[in-house]
Every structure is written in C-alpha cells, then in structure tokens.
Amino acid sequence: MTGRLNGRRIAVTGAAQGIGRAIALDFAGEGADLLLIDIDPAALEATVQALREAWPARRIDAAVCDIADPAAVAQTFETAGGRFDGLVNNAGVNVFHDPLATSQEEWRRAFAINLEGAWACARAVLPAMIEQRHGVILNIASTHAFTIIPGTFPYPVVKHALLGLTRSLGLEYADRGIRVNAIAPGYVATQKVLDWWATAPDPEAARAATLELHPQGRIATPEEIARAAVFMISDECPFMTATCLTIDGGLSVQQHA
Ligand SMILES: NC(=O)c1ccc[n+]([C@@H]2O[C@H](COP(=O)([O-])OP(=O)(O)OC[C@H]3O[C@@H](n4cnc5c(N)ncnc54)[C@H](O)[C@@H]3O)[C@@H](O)[C@H]2O)c1
C-alpha cells in the first residue's frame, strides 16, 4: 500500500460486507480514516474488528443506520461530525421482479435504499465539502445503469436514476471543488450474486451460464472494484467528474452475432 489516501476521512455505506467491505479495507490500507455505515450490526462489528486489527493506526468509526431513513442518516453524520473528504454510496439491494408483479412496497424499497439513501448521505456531507471546497462522492451504480436484464425490474430503473444523480450533482458542484462520479460494476463475486445463483433451479448451471457470458470467462472480485474506488476517491483524477467507470470485463460492450 502506498498512502494514496493519507489523512483523508471517508464515509462508506454498506461497508459490512461485499464490495463495501473490500473498499473499506483498501481505503484503510491506503491511509484513510473511515466512517463505516451499515444496517447489519453484527456484520458491521466483524468488519470494524478486522479493520482495526489490520490497520491499528487508523481511526475506524462505525454507525448502524438504515440509509432509507433520511432522519437517521442526518443524525448519523451529525454525530460523526459532518466533515468528510469522501463518501462512497455503496449500500444497495437487489429488487428483481416482473414489472407488473412489482408491489408498491417493493418499488418504494428499491428507490428508498438504492437512490434516496445515496442522496440522503450526499446531502449530509455536501455542506462541509462546499465550505472546504474539497470533496469526492463516489456512487456504486451498476451496468444496470445503462443496460437491462429482463426480469430484474425495478433495479435497473433505480440504477439509471443513480447515474442521473451522479451526473446532476457532478455538474451542480463542479465549480466548487467537488467531484461526483460512479463506478458501474458488472457481476461481482459477493453474497448477493451467490444468493441470486442459489435461487435458480440449477445453481451450478446458473453460475456456469454467468461465467460463460463473460469475455474473460470469470466475474470480478470485490477487491478489483475497491482498487478502482481508491483511484476515483483520490486526487489522482482531478478532471474526472459527472462520469462513470464501467468494470465488467467487457461484458456490456459485447455484441452477439
Ligand atoms: N455484487 C454485484 O454483482 C454488483 C454488481 C453491480 C453493482 N453492485 C452494487 O454494489 C453495491 C454493493 O453490492 P454487494 O454485492 O457488495 O452487496 P452485499 O449485499 O454483499 O452488501 C450490501 C451491504 O449493504 C448493506 N445494506 C443493505 N441495505 C442497507 C440499508 N438500508 N442501510 C444501510 N446498509 C444497508 C448490507 O447490510 C450489506 O452489508 C450495491 O449498491 C450493488 O447494487 C453489485
């Protein structure tokens, strides 16, 4: 590790497992102090312990919070002290249905966590970022932000909107020292994907079919997404804002003959 985030204070949502956990570990390794936010207290505690053991010199704060609750988000950031150099809006849930079979409750849940949660966190950190004329917000979107897999409604609708939020905030604050970007991962080997394969009638065949789709014959690791997140949250790409980095091993540009 090379200290690329030395002295930075960064909040990461959905940090207890999966991509968020990998991002937290990589950021701490690069020198950042962290606020880890998650709804799952036990998993969050385990991740905090792992981080403190791996990087005892870092300040690792943690908050159990449902990002779908705007008042709880505001309270969490107020308690933590609202001043951050970076925010990673990573927490998200798969809500996959046939459009007409989607209940109002499921539609609301998809938007409340995957979009409104990100906006609530951004609202909480932006005032201090504007004051200090420095800050980076990174939204973990998905290739669902610009492509559609039938039967996954309304997840792609929400991820398209998260890309819209990224572009909109990126432009609104471009002249105030703030950058807002997104990463669009394709398939990443996390619990979410394992659970999704497990729902198939033949999970092993489902897994093989997913790998087969990929030009490299594999899917991403959470650590590969984290490496890109270090670059995007750092000062190494100062002219990069209101944009999205796709990390999908070439899947979304592949055209079938
Ligand atoms: N895994 C993939 O293949 C993949 C691909 C593209 C995009 N993504 C996106 O990456 C992000 C992380 O995905 P993952 O696969 O690591 O997921 P995951 O389910 O492994 O982890 C998500 C974390 O978010 C937390 N969380 C869920 N709802 C929350 C809430 N309301 N408030 C606070 N925390 C909450 C969970 O407790 C969990 O720790 C998501 O936004 C997801 O949409 C994942």
CB atoms within 10 A of CB 183: 25
Task: Assess whether pLDDT exceeds 90 at residue 1.
Answer: no
* Residue pLDDT, tens place only, 79-117: 999 799 999 999 999 999 999 999 999 999 999 999 999
pLDDT at 192: 87
Q: What number is the average pLDDT over the span 119-136?
A: 98
The pair of structure tokens assigned to 181 is 């970007």
> Does residue 226 have its Cβ closer than 6 Å to ligand 1?
no
* Residue pLDDT, tens place only, 3-21: 999 999 999 999 999 999 9
Q: Which of 177, 164, 68 is nearest to 116 (CA)?
A: 68
Task: Assess whether pLDDT exceeds 90 at residue 169.
Answer: yes
pLDDT at 68: 98
Please give, one letter per residue, the 3-state secondary structure of 94-121: CCEECHHHCCHHHHHHHHHHHHHHHHHH
Task: Assess whether pLDDT exceeds 80 at residue 64.
Answer: yes
Query: Under a CB-based contact definition with an 8 Å cutoff, are residues 190 and 18 in contact?
Result: yes
> Does residue 129 have its Cβ closer than 6 Å to ligand 1?
no
Q: Measure the CA–CA gap between 67 and 73, rounded to whole angstroms.
A: 6
Which ligand 1 atom lies nearest to the CA of residue 155? 43
* Residue pLDDT, tens place only, 17-56: 999 999 999 999 999 999 999 999 999 999 999 999 999 9
pLDDT at 196: 87
Task: Assess whether pLDDT exceeds 80 at residue 218.
Answer: yes
Looking at residue 248, what DSSP letter applies? Answer: S
pLDDT at 257: 76
Where in the chain are the domains? 9-188+222-253
Confidence of residue 77 (pLDDT cuts 50, 70, 90): very high
> Does residue 93 have its Cβ closer than 6 Å to ligand 1?
yes
Which of the listed residues 188, 191, 197, 224 should we mutate to test ligand 1's pocket, taking the one with most ligand atoms within 8 A of CB? Answer: 188
> Does residue 184 have its Cβ closer than 6 Å to ligand 1?
no
155 catalytic? Reply is yes
From the CA of 257, how far away is ligand 1's center (Å)? Answer: 33
Cross-strand partners of 88: 12, 138
In the chain, pLDDT over 90 holds for what percent of residues? 96
Cβ neighbours for 168, distance < 8 A, ≥ 6 positions apart: none
Q: Which of 207, 206, 138, 203 is nearest to 169 (CA)?
A: 138
From the CA of 38, how far away is ligand 1's center (Å)? Answer: 10
From the CA of 237, how far away is ligand 1's center (Å)? Answer: 25
pLDDT at 256: 82
From the CA of 79, how far away is ligand 1's center (Å)? Answer: 24
Task: Assess whether pLDDT exceeds 90 at residue 2.
Answer: no
> Does residue 192 have its Cβ closer than 6 Å to ligand 1?
yes
Average model confidence (pLDDT) across the chain: 97
CB-based burial of residue 128 (10 Å sphere; 0-12 exposed, 13-18 middle, 19+ buried)? middle
Dihedral of the CA atoms 151, 154, 160, 161 (nearest 10)? 180
CB atoms within 10 A of CB 88: 30
Its pTM surpasses 0.75: yes
pLDDT at 82: 72
pLDDT at 183: 99
CATH of 9-188+222-253, one of 2.60.200.30, 3.40.50.720, 3.30.43.10, 1.10.10.10: 3.40.50.720
pLDDT at 181: 99
